[in-house]
Structure 1
Amino acid sequence: MESLLAGVQYVLNLGPTVILPIAILIIGLLFGTGFKTSFKSGITIGIGFVGINLVIGVLTGNLGPAAQQMVERFGLNLTVIDAGWPAAAAASWASPVAAILIPICLIVNIVLLMLKWTKTLDIDIWNYWHFIAAGATGYIVTNSWVVAIIMAIIYEILVLKIADWTAPLIQKYFGLEGISLPTGSTAAFGPIGILVGWLITKVPGLGKLHADPESIQKRFGIFGEPMMMGLILGAVIGLLAGYDVGGVTQIAISMAAVMFLMPRMVKILMEGLIPISEAARNFLQKRYGDREVYIGLDAALSVGHPSVIATALILVPITIFIAIILPGNKVLPFGDLATIPFYIAFVVAFLRGNIIHSVIAGSVMVALSLWMATNFAEVHTLLMEGAQFTAPGGATEISSLDLGGNLLNWLILKLSQAWHAIF
């Protein structure tokens, strides 16, 4: 089992820039696009993901330290530290159930697709860590492999169904034709945010407030352009972090670069994906009529939209403020502040880029996430200890917004605890 896990870990450590081109090549050959087209598509998609990861690296590399400075500047004293999704993912892959759950989850997806219970073929293998985290949660609570497998499958099915449900939305708003986004955290935050967003649109007066990048650009001219919005919001975050003039300028230009470059990186990736998506559609139409199948990819494809980035940047200081005033919260937001764009992607699409409504909905989502992450801290800490992760800053417990503050994984925790209490 250890050698199998080591082999799986080696492949996964290569990252999506290697795994995705290989997966696209295989899928292209299966759908009859030929080696040349499949190979070219795979390489183009790999290049697109290299670009996306570079831009996300600029985002997290600048936003993370700024968020830390804000936390230190405001002197927050919360006992549970948000270790962030990278630590949570690493701990999930290191769990005893990881190796067996990867093939199981892949088989489950194929079976559901054949039975027409889902339209999504999830080829984003690296993000299977969310399914494994659910399995690891079940295993920690019950010490049962059977429960671990059941919990991982339940989580996967819920994510695939949410991906199916939101696919028309993200295809229309983000222009991702034939794509769904079965990223575990994005899917988990979606239903709450969409419900809250829908309620906001029904509030008299509030429902009529509207500000999206297009209307902002029309009203403010050059200062309403996406890169200028990034520049302004980045400067505000730098000032809140207490940076000097040079530091404020650096983060402002970095956020402007993120707003400007990310849509171009997504466009490159889509160039590679279109031939495969069309081939898959033609292949299935010949055999199953007009049946629709979505290619499931990382939600990173959606986070570069100006409305998503703008909403996320505004929510960073709001999240810290909510953590301070929220009764019952013990979580110190830190590691996952830079990944807020992933949590709000579906909500922004549902609200058609309305930044005002998206920020309000996102604030409610953050509050609920902090409560769930606080409640999840004990089990989350045990998961991290299994991976020999040391809590930074003398924190007594560890959690995260991505795993611990994730609605679906929190429900898995409650279900596992109920199972343990009964059996």
Structure 2
Amino acid sequence: MEIISYIVGLGASVMMPIIITILGVCLGTKLSKAIRSGLMVGVGFIGLNLVIGLLTSTLGPASHAMVEKLGLQLTVIDVGWPAAAAIAFASTVGAIIIPIGLVVNIILLITKQTRTVDVDIWDYWHFAFTGALVTAATDSILWGGFAAIVNMIIVFYLADWTAPGVEEYNKLPGVSLPHGFSAAYVPIAIVINKIIDMIPGIRDVKADPETLQEKFGIFGEPLIIGSILGLIIGALAGYDVKTILTVGITMGGCLVLIPKMASMLMEGLLPISDSAQEFIQKRFKNAGKIYIGLDSAVAIGHPACMAAALVLVPITIILAAVLPGNRVLPFADLAVLPFMLAMVVPVTKGNVFRTFIVGLVMVTIGLLIATDMAPLHTQLAINANFKMPSGATQIASICDGANPLTWIILQLTGLKVVGVAVLVAVVGAMAVINSKITKRRDAQEDIQA
């Protein structure tokens, strides 16, 4: 545990090169090639974190300014995902989640229940957060551990289902996204996307980046879309002209730079992904394709994701003011809205309009979920000696305090035996569906080969 905790504490830019290098050597990659791949992945994460940091440091203050301008007086303060992650890892479940997660992933791989090798162990905090909430609600570490494992298994299935779409629309070959926050919105996206398919007229709206660029020329390019939305956000924040222009250029730059940083990361990851496929094919017949599980940060740069997320920032603030039953003041986590939409893009096939509609529904539901879970969230924070912000009676976060999958698991575990039966049935059904989907994909790949 001390070794694992030390490695995790190094941060993604150091932790990932170590993990990728070790994984590469284990899979038969030459040591020199594995080291280079690991370092290149580290460079990609450094670049990605720099750009995301720029996005957050620009979008966050603008969002805060909009909140203050509207003068919202809500008693539950959104303290952001860093606080939620710290609270999760400070819990009893958080102390054991990494070894549990590694064992669960290995078992799922051996039994062919997943195709994802999750190397992003930092993001196990999402599962720990679910487990910590359930532990606090039931006063039982066993229930909390069970909840965390169920959450993890469901997310692995969702990562497998969306992996081909991530490859196609995010240009991330051999990658899946077993991200506890982003993956939770995939079922909602599937349902809403199906509903849109049934509505004449609306179902025919084509708003993918290629179509937008074809129709609007230069104004359909991600750079221009991001810059225009940035200018609007700056204006709504009440900034002066200089700052408005800075926000506009920064947002446009982020839409261009994030995919480039992700492609650099992929340059390092591809040799390891190829080695993984060769390793599996040699030792396990009919095992199918294997995906490397990464943080959804590598996917947020898709134009549909970023454009929809930037539009949702001011709308989320307005929703918080008018939505009946909401007591959450969106604040620190407004900048993570792209992560909410990262895995929606493969479902909507990159359609900006559909991604926005799905996002609007998700934000509305999310505010109510965050309000409902705020008492438990606050209790966990107090247990972890978290300093409460001034003026706040309770705290929440969009990531993971507004997570629908976490909320559902929390409600079902409250029903004890009945809830367990439902969760086991859901996992079993997903296992059957996942098996059928992967077999169908394997058959299609054999035909193409």
Specify the TM-score bucket, using the shorter chain as the normaliser.
over 0.9
Match of 2:321 among 324, 337, 352: 324
Q: Deviations for 1:96-149, whole angstroms, at most 9, x for unmatched residues? A: 232222101111110111011111111101001011111211221122221121
Distance apart, 1:391 and its partner CA? 2.6
Q: Give 1:373's aligned residue.
A: 370
Distance 1:241 1:82 in 2: 18
Match of 2:168 among 164, 167, 172: 172
Distance apart, 1:169 and its partner CA? 1.4
Is the contact made by 1:190 and 1:343 (CA closer than 8 Å) also made in structure 2? Answer: no
Distance apart, 1:185 and its partner CA? 0.2
Q: Give 2:428's aligned residue.
A: none
SS in 2 for 1:175: coil
Question: RMSD over aligned Cα, in angstroms?
Answer: 1.7
Residue 90 (structure 2) pairs with residue 114 (structure 1)? no
Query: Residues 126-165 of structure 1 correspond to what in structure 2 (within 5 A)?
Result: 126-165=122-161
Q: Give 2:19's aligned residue.
A: 23
AA partner of residue 86 (structure 2):
A
Distance 1:186 1:322 in 2: 21
Residue 302 (structure 2) pairs with residue 301 (structure 1)? no
SS in 1 for 2:332: coil
Distance apart, 1:213 and its partner CA? 2.1
Query: Residues 7-406 of structure 1 correspond to what in structure 2 (within 5 A)?
Result: 8-290=4-286, 291-406=288-403
SS in 2 for 1:418: coil
Moved more, 280-289 or 41-50: 280-289
Q: Give 2:433's aligned residue.
A: none
Distance apart, 1:408 and its partner CA? 1.3
From the superposition, tell whether residues 212 and 96 of structure 1 become closer, same or farther in structure 2 (CA, over 3 Å): same
Distance 2:220 2:108 in 1: 45
Moved more, 264-273 or 328-337: 328-337
SS in 1 for 2:117: strand
AA partner of residue 341 (structure 2):
I
Q: Deviations for 1:170-201, whole angstroms, at most 9, x for unmatched residues? A: 11111211111001000111211221122123
AA partner of residue 351 (structure 2):
N
SS in 1 for 2:182: helix
Distance 2:49 2:8 in 1: 16
Distance 1:385 1:266 in 2: 37
Is the contact made by 1:95 and 1:136 (CA closer than 8 Å) also made in structure 2? Answer: yes
Q: Deviations for 1:210-268, whole angstroms, at most 9, x for unmatched residues? A: 22222222222222221111110000000011111011011111101101111110110
Distance apart, 1:422 and its partner CA? 9.9
Q: Deviations for 1:45-89, whole angstroms, at most 9, x for unmatched residues? A: 000000000010011110011101111101112111111111100
AA partner of residue 114 (structure 1):
I
Is the contact made by 2:186 and 2:347 (CA closer than 8 Å) also made in structure 1? Answer: no
SS in 2 for 1:243: coil
Distance 1:194 1:319 in 2: 22
From the superposition, tell whether residues 71 and 393 of structure 1 become closer, same or farther in structure 2 (CA, over 3 Å): farther
AA partner of residue 284 (structure 1):
I
Distance 1:198 1:317 in 2: 27
Is the contact made by 2:189 and 2:347 (CA closer than 8 Å) also made in structure 1? Answer: no
Is the contact made by 1:142 and 1:419 (CA closer than 8 Å) also made in structure 2? Answer: no
Distance 1:222 1:244 in 2: 26
Structure 2 residues without counterparts, runs of 5 or longer: 421-449
SS in 1 for 2:250: helix
From the superposition, tell whether residues 208 and 421 of structure 1 become closer, same or farther in structure 2 (CA, over 3 Å): closer
TM-score, structure 1 as length reference: 0.96
Is the contact made by 1:142 and 1:420 (CA closer than 8 Å) also made in structure 2? Answer: no
Is the contact made by 1:17 and 1:49 (CA closer than 8 Å) also made in structure 2? Answer: yes
TM-score, structure 2 as length reference: 0.90
SS in 1 for 2:342: helix
Is the contact made by 1:212 and 1:355 (CA closer than 8 Å) also made in structure 2? Answer: yes
Q: Give 2:404's aligned residue.
A: 407
SS in 1 for 2:92: coil
Distance 1:10 1:163 in 2: 27
Identity of aligned residues (%): 49
Distance 1:365 1:132 in 2: 22
Q: Give 2:447's aligned residue.
A: none
Runs of 4+ in 1 over 6 A off after TM superposition: 420-423
